[in-house]
Amino acid sequence: MAAKSRQPKGPDGALSSLNGAIEALDLAKENSRITQAKAAFGSVSALLVVIRVGFLLVPIDQLLANVVYRRQ
C-alpha cells in the first residue's frame, strides 16, 4: 500500500500547492516544443506567482473576511 503524503492545511498548504504548481508549469514550459504551449505555461505560471505574492501580502483573516462577505 502506498504511503499518503500529508500536506499542511491552511495558508501553509495553499502556499505549498502554489509553489508545486508553479514549479510544474515551469518544467512543462522548459520541456515543451510547441511555442503556443510555452506561452500558455508561462502565462499561467506568472498568474500563479502574482496570486502567491498577493497571498503573502494580505493577512489570512482579511482574505477569509472577503470570502465570507462575498458569499452573502
Taking the C-alpha atoms of residue 65 and residue 67, their distance in angstroms, rounded to an integer, is 5
59 CA to centre of own chain:
17
Query: CB-based contacts of 13: which residues, under 8 Å, 6+ apart?
Result: 7
Residue pair 22/48 in contact (Cβ under 8 Å)? The answer is: yes
pTM over 0.85: no
Q: Where are the domains of the chain?
A: 12-71
pLDDT of 41 reads: 95
pLDDT digits (tens, 9 = 90+) for 5-56: 565 666 677 788 889 999 999 999 999 999 999 999 999 999 998 888 877 7
